[in-house]
Amino acid sequence: MTAPLVDISSVSHRFGQQTVLKNVSLQIEPGSYTVLLGPSGSGKTTLLSILGGFVNPSEGKVFIRGEDCTSVPPAKRPTTTVFQDYALFPHMSVGANVGFGLRMQGVDAATRAAKAREALGLVGLAAAFDKKPHQLSGGQRQRVALARALVIEPAVLLLDEPLGALDLKLRRQMQDELKAIQKRVGTAFIHVTHDQEEAMALADHCVVMNDGRIEDEGPPERVYARPATRFSATFMGESTILQGNVTETTKGTISVATPAGAILLPGTLQPGAKVALAVRPEHLVLGAAGGAIALGTAEVSDVVFQGSFKRVLAASTLDPALQFIARAPASATVQTGDTTAVSCNADDIILLTD
Amino acid sequence: MRALVRIASWLYALAVYGFIFLPVVVLVLFSLQATSFPIPPFTGPSLRWYGAVLSDTRLTSALVNSLLVAVLSSLAAVTLGFLSAWGFARFTLPSSALLRGLITLPLTVSYLIIGMGLLVLFNWAGVPKSLLAAGIGHVVINLPLCFAIIYSQMGDHQINIERAARDLGAPEWKVLLLITVPVMAPAIFAGFFLSMTFSWDEFVISFLLTRFDTTLPVEIWNLLRSGLNPKTNAIGSLVFAVSIVLVVLFELTLLRRKPA
Amino acid sequence: MSNAANSGRALPRAGCALPRAPLPWALVTPALGWTLLFFVLPFLAMGLSSLTAHEGGGFTLANYSQFFTDPSYWRAMVNSLEVTAIVTVISVLLAYPFAWILAEQVPERWQRLALMLAVLPFWTSYVVRSYSWLLVLAQNGVINRALTSLGLVAEPLQLANTRFATVTGFVHFFVMLLTLTIFANLKQLSPSYRKAAADLGAGPVRTFLHVVLPLTLPGIMVGAFLTFVLCIGDYITPQILGGNNELLMPQLVMMQIGRRGDFPLASALSIILMAVVTVAYLACARWLKIERA
């Protein structure tokens, strides 16, 4: 099967005057775990609603398994959605909730119950069959919603910020479970979140969205290490951003003038081009024994202890508007008010041309 | 100081309770005496006037009429109210706020004026006075109430619940029957119950729009023409007793329904 | 559960329309139609009727001019406004402390019962409730009997068929109603307001005056307005308890229908009554909005 499972082709959407999706195209492979990552208002939830059939796009087409589903209602699509508030039917037992989709397909009660039990077993809630949703904890409800959506064996499972209502610890635990369940059932999952840690932990394929557009997509390792745009460099993890202009180009090397001095990088841009250089916090070196590229000195403005490391914010002495974000070992003695040399290596600089 | 406030509070509360209960106690007490006038001194328990009420076919048939009008008009009001609340909550309709305002408008107009309007209209259209006409009026006063109660309870969460059902393959009518109605049941029930009470107790509209067959409040009104009458005490006490039983039942079912 | 890609439901052909446009209209049209047919249309009919002559049926403004020129008609409106104002003020003044005691002094677990008892007479019929007051206030009723046997008065007092009786009947009903609304209002107040005020050094009296009272004022206004609207449009209480010694507007309206079948005049009087309520609403609405902001 070479065709993608889901093919979103040039989709745009407007709510009244406001354009929330701008010519978005995206392909989803069978069996993959795709995460749509973006801030609120980036259009990720609208895109999910279009996939689920709850919103008709203003322009563009959606193909699922090669068929045009653009205006097919939710009930007739091979997709199911796990809603942010779980949307469990409060008047039905957990078993009846999970069996609902099968009931709508006309499956007899005995088979329904057996399949619902099986699905509840899959999410580790076999014992909750006869309970009512209000007797369950938030994490348990989340799992029931997952079982309810999976039991009718959709081609694509859509998850709308499924972990948003859970506390941090439970969220990390549910992440691992979601990933395990997805691998076991093999269904393609499309998951919307604004939490970049969640995205990195879950995704096979990470799609960074901003302002109605896809900024970057690919394996999370690649998106993190080599973000395609400044937005994804700052939204998927933090970065220090150096604004600059290309001043010289010679034999595959460019010289970029930045507030922290001139920096030589491999590249083929024309002189005068505006660029941004991004450096991940773990790649900035503080102190004298540094990397090959010196970025001047900086005055430490804040040190936040985060357990396994210290997050250090420092303002450049060359240009106080330039803010360095660095990561120091937990044992480092760096303090607010210290002045320290900042440097990095050329390989760790991400060249952004947007 | 605190003790003084407490004592003053108790005295005040007792006085207000006394004021609130005085007419009801007098009503019930003097329904239980055999004399022809419900006035002091109390001459001692007798069920004579209750017997008189129950053998008065005008009163008993009025009671049946009242129940009939209350149940049917409330069913109509709650059905229309529910459907429109569902429509307005689920779909974006043009000038929705204006139309919702129109539906709730009768809440701000006194029953007398609603009754007057219907009387003038029916008079012109040649519609005879009847229980049906009164029932139509009762739907007019109770529809906005049912609409407002049910509409206010249809939140985003309910919308997602219905979406989930549709997503899992339920056709529209199954969403309505299996999901929306059961989930909204408390609001629907509250709307129906309130409509019943208001219709049951409504006087002016029934007075204006019925003639021979009429409702209980109008029949009681007719009894009042004969001045103080122990029969009125008895029927009033009966209505009171039945209402109390219903209210207690309502409270108990509500309490039982509350999740643990 | 595996093998999801080729399981599941068959996809329909493309182009199946999504939101069924007629459905929402089918849902709201019955209610809208009902309101138009049995509320708006009757109101228009009443308006038209008020502009026709009782005899002959030609166009006339006589029904309105009659109200403005005949002092006895005027008098009914003034009576209505006076009685309504008196009732509203007395009811609020009686109900607020009562609701406060229920909400603050009665132990939590008894509050529900106390409140249910406080509105118990709601469940008698409205007509019967007014009649019960007649029993209490009649010439040979409980109060007069008590007063004469205690020797406080020589002759029974004329209590029934007076404005006093009308006001008493109304106050009885609206104290119950206002107790409910004000109680709900007081319970909605977060206890942290009171704690904060106490923490900042305000005693119970000042806490009440500067925190609790201002915060419950909008609720009181809503309750008072409800009292005004229901009171000024009510026919039963003044007819049973006030008798015909002084007429209020609703009695005047009913009299036109009952005695003379004069629908045009009754319509005109109804519309005037409604106009007064609307003016009161507009005056109140502005004030309420300021309070809420």
**CATH value at residue A287:** 2.40.50.140
The distance of A128 to chain B (nearest Cα, Å) reads: 17
What is the pTM (predicted TM-score) of this model?
A: 0.80
Q: Which residues contact A8 (CB under 8 A, 6 or more apart)?
A: A24, A25, A26, A27, A47, A50, A51, A60, A61, A62, A63
CB contact under 8 A, C8 and A154: yes
Residue A346 neighbours by CB distance under 10 Å = 12
CB contact under 8 A, B182 and A91: yes
CB contact under 8 A, B170 and A75: yes
Complete domains list, chain C, with CATH: 62-292 (1.10.3720.10)
CB contact under 8 A, A76 and C5: no
Of C2, C3, C12, the CB nearest to A76: C12
Instruction: Take residue A161 and report the two structure tokens written for it.
Output: 């910020």
Give the pLDDT score at B259: 44
Of B39, B112, B220, the CB nearest to C127: B220
Give the pLDDT score at C193: 78
Instruction: Map out the domains of chain B as residue ranges.
Output: 57-224
Q: Does B201 touch chain C (CB under 8 A)?
A: yes
Listed as ranges, residues in chain C with pLDDT below 70 are: 1-22, 286-293
The distance of A78 to chain B (nearest Cα, Å) reads: 9
Q: Does B176 touch chain A (CB under 8 A)?
A: no
Q: Answer yes or no: do A123 and A213 share one domain.
A: yes
Q: Does B234 touch chain C (CB under 8 A)?
A: no
Q: Answer yes or no: do A33 and A64 share one domain.
A: yes
Q: Domain boundary at A235, A263, A294, which?
A: A235
Specify the number of domains making up chain A: 2
Q: Answer yes or no: do A316 and A276 share one domain.
A: yes
Give the pLDDT score at C290: 44
CB contact under 8 A, C126 and B143: no
Provide, as residue numbers in chain A, all residues whose Cβ is less than 8 Å from the Cβ of C23.
none
CB contact under 8 A, A76 and C7: no
Q: Answer yes or no: do A258 and A154 share one domain.
A: no
Q: Answer yes or no: do A44 and A171 share one domain.
A: yes
Contact A103, A112 (CB under 8 A): yes
Q: Answer yes or no: do A135 and A219 share one domain.
A: yes
Provide, as residue numbers in chain C, all residues whose Cβ is less than 8 Å from the Cβ of B80.
30-31, 34
Give the pLDDT score at C1: 35
Of A30, A76, A152, the CB nearest to C11: A76
Q: Is residue A131 part of a domain?
A: yes
Q: Is residue A106 part of a domain?
A: yes
Give the pLDDT score at C4: 33
Of B157, B171, B183, the CB nearest to A91: B183
Give the distance, in angstroms, between the CA of residue A162 and the centroid of all CA atoms in the same chain: 13
Q: With a cut of 70, say whether residue B193 has pLDDT above it.
A: yes
Contact A282, A341 (CB under 8 A): no
Q: Domain boundary at A235, A259, A288, which?
A: A235
CB contact under 8 A, C4 and A155: yes
Give the pLDDT score at C286: 64
Listed as ranges, residues in chain A with pLDDT below 70 are: 1-2, 354
At the topology level, CATH places domain B57-224 in: MetI-like fold (1.10.3720)
Q: Answer yes or no: do A267 and A182 share one domain.
A: no
**ipTM of the modeled complex:** 0.87
- pLDDT tens string C100-139: 999 888 888 888 888 888 888 888 888 889 989 988 888 8
Q: Is residue A1 part of a domain?
A: no
Give the residue numbers spanning the domain of A306: 240-352
CB contact under 8 A, A89 and B165: yes
pLDDT band of residue B260 (cuts 50, 70, 90) is very low
CB contact under 8 A, B80 and C274: no
The distance of C182 to chain B (nearest Cα, Å) reads: 15
Chains that touch B (3 or more CB pairs under 8 A): A, C
Q: Answer yes or no: do A180 and A159 share one domain.
A: yes
Chains that touch C (3 or more CB pairs under 8 A): A, B
**What are the contacts of A329-338 at 24+ separation with CB within 8 A?**
A330/A305, A332/A286, A334/A286, A334/A300, A334/A303, A334/A310, A335/A300, A335/A303, A336/A300, A336/A301, A336/A302, A336/A303, A337/A299, A337/A300, A338/A299, A338/A300
Q: Domain boundary at A235, A258, A283, which?
A: A235
- pLDDT tens string B32-53: 887 777 776 666 777 777 888 8
Which among C1, C6, C7, C13 is the top mutation candidate for probing chain A, defined by the most A β-carbons within 10 Å of its own β-carbon? C1
Q: C-alpha dihedral over C22, C24, C29, C35, to 10 degrees?
A: -160
Q: Which residue of A has its CA nearest to B172?
A: A75
Q: Tokens 């942010």 belong to which residue?
A: A84
Give the pLDDT score at C12: 30
Q: Is residue A101 part of a domain?
A: yes
Of C133, C135, C235, the CB nearest to B38: C135
Q: Which residue of A has its CA nearest to B260?
A: A135
Q: Answer yes or no: do A221 and A207 share one domain.
A: yes
CB contact under 8 A, C20 and B172: yes
Q: Does B78 touch chain A (CB under 8 A)?
A: no
Which whole number is the average pLDDT over B101-108? 89
Of A151, A155, A184, the CB nearest to C5: A155
DSSP H helices in chain A: 44-52, 94-104, 109-122, 138-150, 168-185, 196-202, 220-225, 230-235
Q: Is residue A47 part of a domain?
A: yes
CATH classification of the domain holding A120: 3.40.50.300
Q: Tokens 């040649």 belong to which residue?
A: B126
C-alpha to C-alpha distance for C114 and C64, rounded to whole angstroms: 48
